[in-house]
Structure 1
Amino acid sequence: MFIAAWPLAIVLLTSMSLPAEPAPLSPREFRSLSRKCAPWVAPSTLAAIAKIESGFDTLVAHDNTTGEQLRWIDHLEATRGIKERLEAQHSVDVGLMQINSKNFAMLNLTPERAFEPCASLSAAAHLLESRYAGGTTAVAQQLALRRAISAYNTGDVTRGFANGYVRKVESAAKDISSLLERTLEPTARDVPHLEAPGRKAVPPLLQQSQQANRKKQPNQDSWDIWGSYQPDRAGADPSGPTGSQAAKAREPANPNKLVFD
């Protein structure tokens, strides 16, 4: 009886020592971090990109050299794994916002910092801002935002339309709307908060029907992105062509490139 109890005790002790699987960031956690670490970009814009890039998981990577999708259970293990791949001259997309390793130096990232959600959000915001041209009208701003999102994925302001990436981010923005909205205070708005001089405010990603509603109701908050969305919208996407459905969503040769082509 006493001897038979040992295997059970060993099993229990072993199970207790296993590290827990890291959970993806919750909508509330993501919004709080985005406000703190990347206040000049609308949280919903960053959230839509994060949903496509990592599913809000902070300890993931994509090895562009081998095509592997990677996930770890702790920060130390993840950092070690990325260092090994960088030493082998691999191109790797890392962390919450999948920042490409070729951009680490210019964004002041290390393998350790690339897995930190705050550093990843700040880097993504810099990349988006660098390619966001703005505009004098809401329509022009939305087109500029979609071009910046295209460049985030491919390094080019048009290829992200052709490979379907922009369309995926638009779809993600719709999917996460209700989740992100629940994290807002009753009087809060999904707008960028400029806290550093010289920053360009990167707006929320609005749908076509939302832009039309803004024209009809000029007194309505122009960036209440989730308030008036109509799920059964009709008409062409104002952002431009979406390309072949068979095109790859990821173009690893030059992902989230900072400099202009």
Structure 2
Amino acid sequence: MANVKCLDPGASPLHFFGAEVRRLRERAGLTLAQLGEIVYLTGSMIGQIETAAKVPKDEHIPRIDTALGADGALVRLWEMVKRHRLPAWFRRIAHLEATATEIRTYQALLVHGLLQTEEYARAVLGVMRQDDLAAMVEARLDRQKILARDERVLLWAVLDESVLYREIGGRATMGRQLEHLLEFREVDHVQVQVLPFSVGAHTGLPGSFTIFSFANHPDVAYSEGYEDDWATIDPQEIRGRSLRYDLLRASALSPADSAELIARVMEERYEHHPDPDRRPVA
């Protein structure tokens, strides 16, 4: 007998949706592959929708609803699902980063984790706890491998100017961190912009946030809090965050002018000069 994964419909709205898809599919006497063929998806994708391992696109839902004779019930249910937080496992930042094709992020306080040096990451992660610090730093640096893989993610980072002046880990650590940011100047799939103090009030004042885009499921808006994180695929939320981000990107210095500012702060504030022997970012 095939190993069928047990479902927990009460775990989240997305899990409940998946359980309903499985219930209706089994009632219709269809295998994963058969349903997939009808709605132009793979059987594997159908299985991942049923187990909440993948988030389907809006365009998939009416086809699945029709194929399963749900008479619009799945379409209506999907509208509710989109407005609720994603399951905790799906909100894990490493999963989002590893599966995204594009990451757009605004950072009000810190250099984004994908752009941090080891020393900077250690200072950030060690503020509240020292136990397992080495493992946490290693895990953060391991996430950065997505920037060097063959199918590279496009990372667009807007940093508030205050990030350059916030002395994390001491002057030497900050100098090296800013130098590291400059190493991305020649990397097409990583764009760094600085939002200058002169902008004044801006659309990022509520705090840092990130928008992840994917090839096979909807965009995800993500932000972190003190004890928990928040993620949604609600189209209205995505549109709102996307507008905020576009306005931030338009208000920020160009990547070239941002690099000039980073270099100036690096040398004037931290008295750090580029290491001629330092290897460039791949």
Asked if TM exceeds 0.5, the reply is no
Q: Which has the higher strand share?
A: 2
Higher relative contact order (CA 8 A, sep 6+): 1
TM-score by length of 1: 0.29
Larger radius of gyration: 2
